[in-house]
Chains A and B, each alone.
Chain A
Amino acid sequence: MAYSELIKNFNRIREYMREFYVYGFKSREQFTVGSARSYDNERRRVESWLGDCMSFRRSPDGKNVFFSIDSRAYYHNPLYKAWKAKSFTDGDITLHFILMDILSGGQDVLFSRIVEEVDDYLTQYGSDKMFDESTIRKKLKEYVECGIISMKKEGRSVSYRLCEASDTLSDEALDFFSEVAPLGVIGSYLLDKRKPHREITTFKHHYITGTMDSEVLCELFLCMGRKCFATLKTIDRRHGEEYLREIVPLKIMISAQSGRQYLLAYSAELGKITTYRLDNIAQVKAGEVCPEFDNYREELSRISDRIWGVSLKNRGSEELERVEFTLRYSDDEQFIYRRLLREKRVGRVERLDKNSARFSCEVYDSSELIPWIRTFICRIVDVHFSNQELEEQFRSDLLSMYEMYGVGDGE
């Protein structure tokens, strides 16, 4: 098939975008997603959409292609462009503009009249293109389903009209929410219709990786709205396996500190609430309405103060894991106490005296706290995990770091 810069299925490009953006060190030979030819085509496509953001480097392994993006320097997420590369046929685009024009009068137009008028447009142009009734009906049905036109049936006659609706959101608000709200790409679609305007807001700590998972996220929101079951096709990248999972989607958890997106869902197979990473979900298929949806949500809400991040790993064991640590800071480091307060999530902070404070919490999986505790290195007076293995790991990691940087004897 001839190369085209447009694509039919977003999943094809999703893995490549992720590799170019997140990793960016693989050469053509090291890509395992598809064939070498498919790599060439996908790289060329991405280059056509996002050439400004791409960089190249020669390494002993070959030429590496990667996205070089400092998201703080952009008013808009550049990766949204990939979502605007859907392929279509000559008939699709021709019929689209002609149908929209026929319906632009704001009146109901009978189907038979639409068919005649489509013919008139093509005849006047002198085109040998023809659209039969069933093609036109199919396209109109598609547009009714996506909400841009409405259909009215009176007896045997069917008529259509354009749905008139304009959004009143200000340009500044739309710019902002298209970056910070879930499924911001929808805001970007709306912005494409706006006149150019001055952008006002830039974004710090702005993760754009989740953009690639927008289709999966949208399907999950639709399932939650319907309170229904869903079948997930998940990918195990390490082993190259795919699995089907019957679940009830309950909540999306987003990390502002890594951009990762997770799904908390009731797993029919496991009989409990569990976590899935969105970038490991290839496909979502909506199922029947789940009568137990509200109960599962209630259960999730009941246990949410025992989850530090998203892990429910040790749920089911009788005791929660306890973590406690004490920090000591000088008179001019009172911001450490304030840090504890603003970053404590489900934990508790106790001020012991002017220069020390203790943090404690009980959660299902205390390993999730370790990276955060390490950010206080140089002020940790003591640290205790009820999970002894983790405590040993924490201490031995610290010793490894001493050794790595030549601090003391590393013993």
Chain B
Amino acid sequence: MMFSELYSAYYNAVAAILNEAQGGAISDEKLREIIEKHAFTESVLNIEPALKNGDWPLIKDGISVLKHEPAMPLTTIQKRWLRAISMDRRLKLFGDDTELFPEVEPLFTQEDVEVFDRFLDGDDYGDENYRENFRIILDAIKNRYPLRLKVCDRRGNRYDKIVRPWHLEYSEKDDKFRLITSGKPYPGAYNLGRIISCKRVNGRVSEASVDMAGTPDRSVTFELTDERRALERVLMHFAHLKKEVERLGDNNYRVTLHYDGDDEAEMVIRILSFGPVIHVVEPKEFVELIRERLMRQRSV
């Protein structure tokens, strides 16, 4: 059962409240703080009175009536999901302990599910050197220390660089991890598959130095004609981006997408892929990028 109160924000909030109210009386302020953290905006209007007026007779005078910390064992569906995860080739990146609930059937296997349009040159998760680098990077991010990377760029040139690891970025389409490093004026991004080695260096990565990569700093606006189910196809395709959609007429829409400038070439070809149902109208520079490709195509 996927949709169950056992997993609900309310049960989680009440468990946390009962936990807090185990040793002594919980204050109203703390109770509300927990509700806000674990549940939704309006939940305090329901949970607080229910606990106080005895509809849920679990707290008396601010103290939990339970004798133990609230327990919530794993459900079968959770165990079966974890079992399925244990069979994923990417799990070994995170550690060697990959034996999860061998006594249960996996919820799904490789035979049950396939990502059919993933690129074929994804990272080699089975490579020991890759795994070792991955774990060092993971540790550096967690413990906030700099690394000296030895990298091989796309032209085959090797270079060393000291970086301040901030987080990893994974692309499901590319099936690749990138290390995003903090720094001013520009943060950096390194494909893990291109990192030959990495070593800890002295120092500390402070939060103040962070400037996140991948923030949408550009936008493109196009008009869309809803032919051949274009509206649905286009909006699903760009669903992961921040966007605004406006209906212009019965069959016409205006869509603005916000994207990271580093991904401009990718945005151009993704928009081209929809053919004449999309007409880019702004900004001029983007329209020019499309025009330029069409002009080159016409002259081929």
| Contact B88 A202, beta carbon cutoff 8 Å | no
CB-nearest residue of chain B to A179: B170
Residues of A within 8 A of B291 (CB): 405-407
State the interface size on chain B (CB cutoff 8 A): 122
Determine which of B142, B171, B240, B258 lies in contact with A259 in the assembled complex, contact meaning CB atoms within 8 Å: B240
Asked whether A96 is an interface residue with its Cβ less than 8 Å from the other chain, the reply is yes
Stretch at the interface among B24-32, B76-84, B124-132, B195-203: B76-84
Determine which of A25, A253, A379 lies in contact with B253 in the assembled complex, contact meaning CB atoms within 8 Å: A25
| Contact B116 A87, beta carbon cutoff 8 Å | no
State the interface size on chain A (CB cutoff 8 A): 139
Asked whether B57 is an interface residue with its Cβ less than 8 Å from the other chain, the reply is yes
Asked whether A299 is an interface residue with its Cβ less than 8 Å from the other chain, the reply is no
| Contact A204 B171, beta carbon cutoff 8 Å | yes
Do A22 and B94 contact each other (CB < 8 Å), given the known contacts A5-B40, A378-B300?
A: no
Q: Which of A285-332 contact B (CB under 8 A)?
A: 297, 307, 309-310, 328
| Contact A148 B73, beta carbon cutoff 8 Å | yes
**B contact patch SS:** mixed
Asked whether A192 is an interface residue with its Cβ less than 8 Å from the other chain, the reply is yes
Stretch at the interface among A151-159, A384-392, A394-402: A394-402
Q: Which of A356-385 contact B (CB under 8 A)?
A: 370-372, 374-381
| Contact A377 B294, beta carbon cutoff 8 Å | yes
Stretch at the interface among B106-114, B145-153, B156-164: B106-114
Do A218 and B77 contact each other (CB < 8 Å), given the known contacts A129-B57, A169-B85?
A: yes
Asked whether A270 is an interface residue with its Cβ less than 8 Å from the other chain, the reply is no
| Contact B300 A256, beta carbon cutoff 8 Å | no
Asked whether A342 is an interface residue with its Cβ less than 8 Å from the other chain, the reply is yes
Determine which of B173, B276, B297 lies in contact with A257 in the assembled complex, contact meaning CB atoms within 8 Å: B173
Asked whether B218 is an interface residue with its Cβ less than 8 Å from the other chain, the reply is no
| Contact A209 B241, beta carbon cutoff 8 Å | no
Q: In the complex, A256→B157 CA distance in Å?
A: 31
Determine which of B4, B233, B290 lies in contact with A86 in the assembled complex, contact meaning CB atoms within 8 Å: B4
Residues of A within 8 A of B (CB): 4-6, 9-10, 21-25, 47-49, 51, 57, 59, 61, 66, 68-73, 81, 83-88, 90, 92-94, 96-98, 100-101, 103-105, 121-122, 124-127, 129, 146-149, 162-170, 172-173, 176-177, 180-183, 185-187, 189-190, 192-193, 198-209, 214-215, 218, 221-222, 224-225, 251-260, 297, 307, 309-310, 328, 338, 341-345, 370-372, 374-381, 397-398, 400-402, 404-408
Residues of B within 8 A of A (CB): 1-12, 14-15, 18, 38, 40-43, 46, 50, 54-58, 60, 65-68, 70-79, 81-82, 84-85, 88, 90-91, 94-95, 97, 100-101, 105, 107-108, 111-121, 138, 141-142, 167-175, 178, 180, 214-216, 231-233, 235-237, 239-247, 253, 258, 260, 269-270, 272-276, 279, 287, 290-298, 300
